[in-house]
A and B are shown apart, each in its own frame.
Chain A
Amino acid sequence: MTQPMIHSDKDANGVCLRISGELLTKSLASVEQAFAAVQPQGGDITFDLSQVEALDTGGAWLIADLARRNRAVGAQVRFEGLSPAQSALLDTVAKNIPDDPGIEAVHRSFIDWVASVGQRTAGAWKDTLSVLGFLGLTLHRLARTIVKPWRLRQAALVSQMEETGFRAIPIVALMGFLIGVVLAFQGATQLKQFGAEIFVVELISISVLRELGILLTAIIVAGRSGSAFTASIGSMKVQEEIDAMRTLGLDPIEVLVIPRVVALLIMLPILGFIADMAALIGGGLMSWIDLGISPGMFVTRLKESTGIWHFAIGMIKAPFFAVVIGVIACWQAMQVKGSAQSVGQRTTASVVQSIFMVIALDALFSIFFSVLEV
């Protein structure tokens, strides 16, 4: 392969540019500067192209651009030594150089960044209204499903229950077990100082049953199933499947959203219950090992000291978390706009928002129940 070269000569007839070598897109980098450096003098110019071994559109563009710049200052341009094929290529390229160079490649500047912050802030309010509207729509369809239960898509419901609930059991149980172990271990270290080891039972049972069990389960489900909802419905949106459903007279909310939300409504309390039990087992085991509280003693103490309300408060929150996760995930999916990147962005937003909303809602419940003094 011969490196492309450009050589400028002055003779009686004006400037002669000798161009040689392989003028191919992949080898232009070395000669690009040299072409740009040729300044049009206004005098006549001859391109001697007899030494050009190969030419493609990239090389032709460089020559045509140089010729155009020379013509712009009133010079006569002549080409010499081109083969007919190369000459045709040069003509095609010269014809297609846009007069208006189109749009330059987009560079993201600081101003763009500020503008995007502003847009997102303004968009946040609109989104809030939109998500509330979607929540209303979903609740309406849910109510209709209760009145007319035969409209519920049973196959979809069962497969969603398996996907979001059944398959999450191992991870949720393991998480619960480890939370119990950690609480027992940390609690024991502190409580030993006061000789109040036996209170580790209350520490574990109340914190897990009231708060941690269901909260952490909801967070895992938001990450696991919320992202799956957004990605799968979002991809359907990109493929225009949602539009196709509408034209077939199918209601996307009824077909896609309701089975998922109902599946979460059923499965999240069950998963929360499993997490609670696993945490109690983990905590009991650790108390036995670390503090010598036997399982029998643990259970007796649990029955005496922990009211059923602690467990009930945890379970009451589960359906609310389920609706929040399901609605946010499905709403985000419906906001997907025709690109793969959009699916990714919406999935991220879905997980972040639903986890945040679950925690915020949990805080509200804490205040609510403490005011009620239960």
Chain B
Amino acid sequence: MDGSVLEKTSETGAQREAVIRVRNLTNQFGSQVVHQNLNLDVWRGEVLGIVGGSGTGKSVLLRTIVGLNTPAAGSIEVLGVDVLNGPEQERRRIERHWGVAFQDGALFSSLTVLQNVMAPLREHTGLSEKLMCALGNLKISLVGLPALSCGKFPSELSGGMRKRAALARALSLDPEIVFLDEPTAGLDPIGAAAYDELIGELQHALGLTVFMVTHDLDSLYAICDRVAVLAEKRVLVEGPIEEMTKVDHPWVQEYFTGPRARAAQEKG
């Protein structure tokens, strides 16, 4: 990727490439400042978990990166393209390189699950109906939905199935980056664990970079390579989850050393 950033990591010396670079981001709604001078890098091929208390702007950060929210200041580069001020054409092109799965699925309610998954293919590729259908079925099978659900409408699915269908739609163009907003919220523990496993598997098989907003400590321990903690209007700390317990900050301490965190750690 031209224009993207290669940096040397201090520990391994291996080169890593930043697929998302957020610099000095400031988000403000009226007088309420959500982010101030926020900096964040997401490396290619990693699963990054974003955590933070309610109202710290996790979803706002996700929405800002994918262009649904215009920040007050700062710059964002995705795959080397300036998504805020870059040329329109470049930005449109880059949109096909990411997939977003929203919290409640945000599936098109008037289309069946299969039609939902096929919608991006129909829009952006010139494939035949038969191949699009086959690829749609493949994606639905990849996310672990039964073939029976293809013809169903979103309102006929359970919450967990909607989340899976949303992931299938996010994956339909084989994006390099997948954004997940609270992927396991509202799932039963077994369903959530299966979803974590699924993300891990897909991430390995498809070489995805995953940007995941989550509260689920089990997910953080199970699949996240790195965790970024949002607090005090910025990324307070980032790094592997094992290092989080050493951070001297009351919220981080409480979050990562509380009883739930200990239970998740033992499982993970």
Binding site for B on A (CB under 8 A): 24-26, 28-29, 32, 56-58, 61-62, 65, 85, 88-89, 91-93, 96-98, 100-106, 337-342
Please, which residue of chain A has its CB at the minimum distance from the CB of B118? Answer: A105
List of B residues within 8 angstroms of A56 by Cβ: 174, 206
Q: Take A65-B134, A96-B142 as given contacts and tell me if A337 and B155 are in contact as well, using a CB distance cutoff of 8 Å.
A: yes
Please, which residue of chain A has its CB at the minimum distance from the CB of B153? Answer: A339
Contact across chains for A96 and B141 when beta carbons are under 8 A apart = yes
Contact across chains for B155 and A25 when beta carbons are under 8 A apart = no
Q: Take A88-B205, A103-B147, A340-B109 as given contacts and tell me if A96 and B133 are in contact as well, using a CB distance cutoff of 8 Å.
A: no
Contact across chains for A92 and B174 when beta carbons are under 8 A apart = no
List of B residues within 8 angstroms of A26 by Cβ: 96, 124-125, 173
Q: Shortest CB–CB separation between residue B122 and chain A, in angstroms?
A: 10
Cα(A342)–Cα(B155), bound, Å: 11
Cα(A337)–Cα(B112), bound, Å: 15
List of A residues within 8 angstroms of B132 by Cβ: 105
Contact across chains for B142 and A57 when beta carbons are under 8 A apart = yes
Cα(A91)–Cα(B96), bound, Å: 25
Contact across chains for A58 and B133 when beta carbons are under 8 A apart = no
Asked if B184 is an interface residue, CB under 8 A from chain A, the answer is no
Contact across chains for A97 and B141 when beta carbons are under 8 A apart = yes
Contact across chains for B114 and A102 when beta carbons are under 8 A apart = yes
A-B contacts, 25 of them at CB < 8 A, read A25-B121, A26-B96, A28-B125, A32-B131, A58-B127, A58-B135, A65-B134, A92-B205, A96-B142, A97-B138, A97-B141, A98-B137, A98-B141, A98-B147, A101-B134, A101-B137, A102-B114, A102-B148, A102-B150, A103-B147, A105-B114, A105-B118, A105-B136, A339-B154, A342-B109
List of B residues within 8 angstroms of A105 by Cβ: 114-115, 118, 129, 132-133, 136
List of A residues within 8 angstroms of B131 by Cβ: 28, 32, 62
Contact across chains for B207 and A92 when beta carbons are under 8 A apart = no
Cα(A48)–Cα(B127), bound, Å: 24
Per a CB cutoff under 8 Å, which of A85, A96, A101, A103 touches B207? A85
Contact across chains for A338 and B205 when beta carbons are under 8 A apart = no
By CB atoms of chain A within 10 A, which of B124, B147, B174 has the most?
A: B174
Q: Shortest CB–CB separation between residue A152 and chain B, in angstroms?
A: 34
Cα(A26)–Cα(B126), bound, Å: 8
Q: Shortest CB–CB separation between residue A26 and chain B, in angstroms?
A: 5
Contact across chains for B126 and A29 when beta carbons are under 8 A apart = yes
Cα(A85)–Cα(B109), bound, Å: 36
Q: Shortest CB–CB separation between residue A358 and chain B, in angstroms?
A: 30
List of A residues within 8 angstroms of B121 by Cβ: 25
Q: Take A24-B174, A28-B125, A102-B114 as given contacts and tell me if A338 and B109 are in contact as well, using a CB distance cutoff of 8 Å.
A: yes
List of A residues within 8 angstroms of B82 by Cβ: none
Please, which residue of chain B has its CB at the minimum distance from the CB of A59? Answer: B174
Task: Give a binary string over B143-161; 1 marks a CB under 8 Å from any A CB, 0 the rest.
Answer: 0000110110111000000
List of B residues within 8 angstroms of A29 by Cβ: 125-127
